[in-house]
Chain A
Amino acid sequence: MKMHETKQPRPRRVGANLLFGIGLAACALTLTCGGGQQAKTDDGRTIIRFWQFWTEPRVKAVITQAVAEFEEENSEYSVEVTDLTWDNGYQKIVAAFAAERVPDLIELGSDWVTQFADRGALMDLTSEFGNMQMMYAGWAPAIYGNACWALPWYISTRVFYQNDDIAKLVQGGARPHPIVWGTIAKNAQVATVRKPQMWGYGVNAAEPHRLYKKFLPFLWSAGGEILNEDMSACALNSDAGRLALDFVAKTADFGIIEKQAALDELFVEGKLLYHLSGDWLYEKLKRSGTSMEYSVFMIPFPAPAVGGQVSFAGGEYLAIPRRGAQKIAALKLARHLLLKKHIFNLCIATGCATPVHREVAQDPYFAQDSIRRVFIDQIGRSKSPPNHPRWVDIEAALEWGIEQALYKKLSVDEALRQTCERIDAILQSERES
């Protein structure tokens, strides 16, 4: 049978076939997965790539409308909006920088601006700062090394929410806001006796990137700092640090430990007396249609005539990657997004209480709302974490220490000491690098 006598294929032939197949598949992969970023649309308009985090339909509609308006006014541009999520957006952004496939305009969390600026990843926007600083608030996180690297788009702070119904119950019919930390502790203890029907205080734990925001207002109000002035050493291990961490650790004794979303939910359900939270909770309360009586107040003083009422300030910033293909167009789009009317619409949609545009903040919608007014007053006395390029690592060390004290694994003194050791090691490694 001749068929069985057919010669074995020569290796070169097999190899050639394999190579051909691999080449074919590689081409298909390249066509589907790879390829460069298209610079223009089919009708010749320049594409601006904009990455942002607002995905909730109500807010996304505002962004879409603002972008559509920009395209209408600037017919030479087409904006390609990519939605990011807070779960992995940071990783996606860094990966884009690593792969040199950066967008033209990008929304960055306030904590990230310094890190990106320090690595030379952002375009210097100092000239914009000169033009815009009087009209916009929240510049601190955008400034690093005597230059401005991003434009504030959305800013927020934290205030105390009080369930007035429970407050009346624990204070014998009265419902004044606590002026000092001690009153919070005393009232919260009384309320927590009735758990699980009600709790005195909401304590965050086991939730990275959130816990430190609940500690810093107490640290700053007590006059403490995380780093010293030239950011060369940890300054946490101080009397103020001790006072703040001691109070936060004690809150676990008269409060409920939960994640932020669960605590917000508990407050809406009327089960929490005091809760340190942001303006999103006000929006949530309004939308819930709750009949509960509630109010907000600024961070109390550590003790009578001691310290201040300092809260945490954070936000979202618009930055332009240095290696972006359309820097001028991106700046134009950023300016458009920061127009008064778009900031107003963004604030209405997100429920933000502290518009970044100063004229919007004076609008009766914000200024005549008693709760939003507290937020506006509080943000005037708020601070952002230090603009250090290794803040993400410092934040993790700080949260480690807070958790150790909250769960009583370490004494407050020991938690402060070990946290400072960790932070100093981070600062040292940054200097060495």
Chain B
Amino acid sequence: MTTGHPPRGRHTATSWLLVSPWAVILAVFWLYPFAYALGLSFVSYEIFSGSWRWVGFANFAAVLANVEFWQALGHTVIFTVGTVPVTTTLAVLLALALNRRIWGRALFRAGFFAPTLTATVVMALVFLHLYGQGGYLYSLAGWIGLPVPEQGFLLSEKTALVSVMVMDVWISVGYFALLFLAGLQTIPAELVDDALIHGASPWRRFRAITWPYLRPMMLYAVVINLIKSFQIFTEIFVMTQGGPLGATTTAVYHIYVAGFERFNLGYASAAAFVLFAVIAIISLVQFRLFAFGRGVEE
């Protein structure tokens, strides 16, 4: 008897065959560079001759002893702490607003998502001008009486990093709002209607219905945004190149300079793995925190 389905063995083999291009790409463009970088972190590598010398953990020791690395990591933490909560909160509020039946909802959704579709380099170049002396944002800030640095937002060590953070929030908020909007639309309407009939307050409805449905998306959004923030690079490269006075030198930019301007590839690889460890630990903590909270309403 035939059912029209191929035998399971052939089915599995076909699956493997279909998956293999991805496996190759993973191996060539992810696993191999990962392993290669790990190897590099234990050697002193001379890029012109391709010669290397085993140095053990010396590169890691150099990273941990380097004040500039810790400063860069500090800037990255400030960037992350300053952007992730703000972006997440604004995105949730925006998603709640866009989930209502308001006039021009589709237009607003498209509008808020548009910055995400634009290349970061393009956005960075636009903001480079907006923040400069005579730029629209600079002039506007002065006009409404905010204290503006004489040399423009990006050339003052006090405002440069904050300016990049503001831009990042503006770019990211639409994308995360869309994710939360998707989460909100999984909430059964009967559940909300039932809560309304029983006279639940908006806060009670949010806490008891909306939040539990949003939480899986929240975990995803926060972890992704956190990793993205720890890897902040393009904006820094285009807008400030780590300056002024290293005030915007983030961990990845520090690694870039060490690896691709100074060609200290062993050090750069070691610094990348230290950053990897930091991101991994923070992500794990987040998973634990969200997992801990899950038991409450279940």
Contacts and interface: CB of A to CB of B under 8 A. Distances in A.
B270 interface: no
B245 A258 contact: no
A120 interface: yes
A24 B20 contact: yes
Interface string A255-272: 011110010000000000
Interface in A1-35: 1-3, 6-9, 13-14, 17-18, 20-22, 24-26, 28-29
Given A9-B13, A13-B13, A407-B244, A25 B24 contact: yes
Contact of A121 (B24, B48, B155): B48
Nearest to A121: B48
A398 interface: no
Interface stretch (B3-11, B81-89, B187-195): B3-11
A256 B16 contact: no
A87 B46 CA distance: 23
A257 B20 contact: no
Nearest to A15: B16
Contact of B48 (A25, A26, A120): A120
A119 B48 CA distance: 6
Interface in B142-170: 150-152, 154-155, 157, 160
Interface residues of B, number: 47
B132 interface: yes
B12 interface: yes
Contacts of A403: 243-245
Contacts of A257: 150-151, 155
Interface string B47-89: 1111000000000000000000000000000000000000000
Interface in A91-114: 91, 94, 97-98, 100
B244 A6 contact: no
B260 A91 contact: yes
Given A17-B13, A29-B24, A403-B245, A258 B155 contact: yes
B1 A18 contact: no
A304 interface: no
A3 B48 CA distance: 61
Interface in B251-295: 260-263
Nearest to B134: A196
Contact of B133 (A26, A116, A121, A258): A258
Given A1-B3, A25-B24, 17 more contacts: A3-B7, A14-B12, A18-B17, A21-B18, A21-B20, A22-B20, A22-B27, A28-B21, A91-B260, A94-B48, A98-B48, A100-B50, A205-B243, A257-B155, A259-B155, A262-B133, A407-B245
19 contacts: A3-B1, A6-B8, A6-B9, A8-B9, A18-B16, A24-B21, A98-B50, A119-B46, A205-B155, A205-B243, A206-B155, A206-B240, A208-B241, A256-B133, A258-B133, A258-B151, A404-B245, A407-B245, A409-B245
